[in-house]
Amino acid sequence: MDRLNLSDNIIRLRRERRITQEELADFLGVSKAAVSKWENAQSTPDLMLLLELSAYFGTTIDELIGYKAQLSKEQIRRFYAELVKDFARFPFHEAIEKTRTLAHRYYSCHAFLLQLTVLYLNHYMLAESEEEQKQLLEEAASWCDHILESCSDVSICSDALVLKAGISLWLGKAAETITMLEPSSDPARLAGQDGAILVQAYQMAGEHEKARGYIQAREWLDILNLVSDAAISLALYQDDIERCKKTVCRIRNVMEAYLLEKLHPNLAAQFHYQAAVMYAAVGEEEEALKALFLFEKCVDGLLRAERVVLHGDEYFDRLDAWIEALPLGEMAPRSRKFVFQNLQEAFSHPAFEALKENADFQKILQHFAKTDT
């Protein structure tokens, strides 16, 4: 928690109102000396006077005394993990109300508010109606606005901007999303070279472990972005099936080389699923089923794992330390139950209509039906 700044705030608010200590004292029915002592941090007003001061200055008591509830990284992770469990075991509205209560209580903890936004984006689709889903997204966007308006941490603000842009896109506000992201997303911008420069700086300074850890994390993120972008590309180039086939071939090679199905089964599953949709849409049932079997393998691993965590391996041997430093660390952003609930929707995609009577397709459905039990 930040230190209390009652004395400084009284001075600032009084000067903003352009009133003297004597005028403030007259309004509160105290002596000028009492106000002077408050401003010099020699004493503090009692509770009733704090209420009058906050009303007079049009602010809350928390803002008046400078109270900012801040959570540690460990506390943020514990709250997030608990809320993920709540969405899996309690009625949706109960979990939402608990989230809102925490957001209100720790509204000044921007790092926590950012993760609650992530939590909303991972669970808003569980709401019963589209209207409620929209309201939840707008609520999350308002949290991003608060962060952007009041947070001084550049990295948190950058993440909040990206989240808000994603929310705007899901709300159908494409033009607004473009306005937010286009200025900073030009691939030709020099900002893309900052990582390479930083690594060289680490080397020059003799901080070789930092250089190696950073370059591994950068390489890892580049791979994840490549696979994620390729999944989007499959949807973007639906009218160019030959290009899509080449994309699938190349990305499967990348995933195999970097053991992505083991290290990040969720992303691997997303790519295999998009490939299945693409093949099914053009009537290539055999290839669609091949992609669905790969999807099944990844999702099955997620559902059966005792604990789903992000981790490195013998090649990415410094990745675990970087993962541990992430806001949520190694934990999965959603529960296993949530993953399973999304499977039914995934297999009901219109592209799979022609596969419904296929024996292999039915085996996949039956496999996950057994997993649920």
Chain centre to alpha carbon of residue 50:
37
* 329-332 contacts, C-beta under 8 A, 24 or more apart: 329/77, 331/77, 331/80, 331/81, 331/84, 332/84, 332/266, 332/308
- Single out the residue of 49, 35, 39 nearest to residue 6, CA to CA: 39
Residue type, 199: V
pLDDT tens per residue, range 202-261: 999 999 999 999 999 999 999 999 999 999 999 999 999 999 999 999 999 999 999 999
Q: Tell me yes or no: is domain 6-65 CATH 1.10.150.120.
A: no
The CATH number given to 73-184 is: 1.25.40
Cα distance between residue 287 and residue 276, in whole Å: 7
Place of tokens 């995934």: 346
* Residue 301: predicted pLDDT: 81
Coil, strand or helix at 75: helix
The set of residues, in sequence order, having a beta carbon less than 8 Å from that of 309 and lying 6+ positions away, is 330, 331, 332
Where in the chain do CATH 1.10.260.40 domains reside? 6-65
pTM of the model: 0.73
How long a stretch of residues is the chain? 373
Where in the chain do CATH 1.25.40 domains reside? 73-184
Region class of 309: left (phi > 0), else alpha (psi between -120 and 50), else beta: beta
Cα distance between residue 61 and residue 53, in whole Å: 8
Coil, strand or helix at 309: strand
Cβ(355)–Cβ(280) below 8 Å: yes
Cβ(335)–Cβ(88) below 8 Å: yes
Q: What is the pLDDT along the chain (373 residues), one digit of tens a residue?
A: 345 678 888 998 899 889 999 999 999 999 999 999 999 989 989 888 988 998 888 888 877 887 667 888 899 999 999 999 899 889 999 999 999 999 988 888 999 999 999 999 989 988 989 999 999 999 999 999 999 998 989 999 999 999 999 999 999 999 999 999 888 777 666 666 778 888 899 999 999 999 999 999 999 999 999 999 999 999 999 999 999 999 999 999 999 999 999 999 989 999 999 999 999 999 999 999 999 999 999 988 887 776 667 889 999 999 998 888 888 776 666 666 666 667 777 888 999 999 999 999 999 888 887 665 4
Cβ(113)–Cβ(69) below 8 Å: no
Cα distance between residue 213 and residue 199, in whole Å: 9
pLDDT tens per residue, range 324-344: 888 877 666 666 666 666 777
Residue 160 C-beta-side C-alpha neighbours within 13 Å: 24
